[in-house]
Amino acid sequence: MTLLGLALPLLMASAFLVWLGGTHELPTELAPPPAASMAPTPAPPPLSVVTVPVLYDLSGVDRQLTDQIPERIGDLGDRIPASDLPGLSFAFEATRGPVQVDVHGDTLTLTTELAYEGRGWYESGFFPTVRAGCPAGSTLRPRARVTLRAHLAIAPDWTLDPTLQVHAVEPLTSTDRDRCRPAGLQVDLTEFLMQLVTEALEGHLASMENSLSQVSLRVPADHAWRELVTPIGIGPEIWLALEPSGVALAGVSGEEGMEGERWLRAEVELQLQPRVRLGARPEMADRTLPDLSDDLQGRRGQATVQGEVSYTTLSQLLTEELSRQPLSFMGRQLHIEEARVWGAAGGALVIEIQANGPLSGRLWLAGTPRLDPESGEIRVPDLELFLAQGNILARLAMGTLRPRLTRMARDWVAWAPEEWTQPGTLLAAQDLSHTISPNMRLEGSLAALELSQIQATPGALLLHSTVEGTLRLRVEGA
């Protein structure tokens, strides 16, 4: 027998053994879910708490407060007995000027000037009644400065919860012009009249507080809430769902605008579980605005955003990508007909590829995706290859070059951070500013996200990232 006659059976036997040894069964724990089963809903992202300033135009509140301060206080025909001096009685009448409204911190200050007249009577019972008043004759009326203060707060039902007080009623100046010293009585009635004005104004505080308590922020807050629970389209089939679940009040203060307008600035804390989803528009969350809470649980300072990619969508994207960029090995092209992705137990990601051409067959790639802390790349360091079926070239390649193919696949299955954060991608920076209604605008943005975790779950591929951003609501002409 010739040397060739001896070698040919050995080569055929080797090829047959390679043929038999080149195919594999996918481990049970990596098997795809049954076609009829429903993918479980991915676990929600961690709770985050972000502070959103809500600016509310106080022009309407200014008018309400001003209207509640009477333009005329007291009546010269209404004599008030002096409790500590029998026989002495007084009457006064004051008219106020314009009201100046200022905001400092959580306090609204109203200041106005009064011009008043005072009358006094003394009846001893033995002598004729002594009458005197101020001003005398054509003298200008004395003046007083009145200061009211309202502590601003918001009740859990989103209404104003003010506390008003008469802070001061005092002569406008220290000159005689603004003192009340009636000729004939030899007494200075200024402080007594200031007290009478104070008591008269205090009688109006309850109605002023009641009027202010009718001012509700619920309508603009509800409009904003409806916007926040509505998924925002941030790219082709990419949706940002903030998913707010709770709201609390961190503080209230006043703010002056560039043109003198006054704003109520409410620091509102929002409890969010933000998700970015690739694929179909997600369902909207509960649209009901909750009452203000005392405290919210969640991470503060930075929000954790969960990116979710369904395996159906990921399979479609991978199929399109591989069909546009055919792979080659040893001069042979792999024409990808279909790619299918699913999540398996233990956080493993499985990719099934059906290839045609000189190297044809069905191949599985399976491993656990990890985030490289140094490069920020997503890699699958434990990726393994499994050939389900293939032609002889594919089986020979798998049987003889499997270690090399595995290394090549591990280098191939890698994603740089910019592939997820560049404009139009899943975790890109976003401008969230848009007009809600003619007098309401949501302003803000999300900075570029920093990927912090990747997890393959049976329901979807999850990417966790941290984000810093700004958000505020402006309500004008309320």
Q: Would residue 428 count as lying in a domain?
A: no
pLDDT at 468 over 80: no
Is 350 part of a structural domain of the chain? no
Contacts of 414 (CB under 8 A, 6+ apart): 377, 378, 379, 380
The pLDDT of residue 231: 86
Per-residue pLDDT of 368-424, as tens digits, reads 888 887 777 788 888 887 765 544 444 555 555 567 667 766 776 666 666 655 555
The count of structural domains within the chain is 1
pLDDT at 146: 96
340 found inside a domain: no
Using alpha carbons only, give the angle 392, 395, 396 rounded to the nearest 5 degrees: 85
Give 138's pLDDT tier (boundaries 50, 70, 90): low
Let me know: does 352 contact 331? Beta carbons within 8 Å: no
In a domain, 109, yes or no: yes
Percentage of the residues of the chain whose pLDDT score is greater than 70: 73
Q: Which domain holds residue 121?
A: 58-212
Q: Does pLDDT of 211 surpass 90? A: no
Backbone region of residue 382 per phi and psi (left: phi > 0; alpha: psi in -120 to 50; beta: other values): alpha
Q: What integer pLDDT is reported at residue 172 of this predicted model? A: 95
Average pLDDT value over all residues in the chain: 76
Q: Is residue 454 part of a domain?
A: no
Examine the pLDDT at 313 and tell me if it is beyond 90. no
CA 287 to chain CA mean position, Å = 15
108 pLDDT above the threshold of 80 = yes
**CA dist list (Å): 400 to 7, 22, 365:** 19, 8, 17
Of residues 245 and 301, the one with the higher pLDDT is: 245
Query: Quick count: other Cβ atoms within 10 Å of Cβ 426?
Result: 23
Residue 426 lies in a domain: no
Task: Using DSSP bridges, classify how beta strands 48-57 and 469-475 pair: parallel, antiparallel or unpaired.
Answer: parallel
pLDDT for 38 beyond 60 = no
pLDDT recorded at residue 1: 36
Band of residue 115 on the pLDDT scale cut at 50, 70, 90:
very high
Tell me which of 31-40, 123-132, 237-246, 431-440 is least confident: 31-40
CA distances (Å), origin 419, targets 348, 378, 428, 451:
21, 10, 9, 11
* Residue 95 token pair: 């008219």
Q: CATH number, domain at 144?
A: 3.15.10
| Domain annotation covers residue 154 | yes
pLDDT value at 471 more than 50: yes
Whether 365 has a pLDDT exceeding 70, the answer reads: yes
At 144, the pLDDT band (50, 70, 90 cuts) reads very high
**Residue in the structure block whose two tokens are 């333009």:** 71
- Residue 124 tokens read as 């001893």
Q: Percentage of the chain surpassing pLDDT 90?
A: 8
Residue 310 lies in a domain: no
Rounding to the nearest 10 degrees, give the CA dihedral for residues 380, 381, 383, 384: 180
Give residue 327's pLDDT. Answer: 62
Greatest mean pLDDT among 136-150, 312-326, 347-361: 136-150
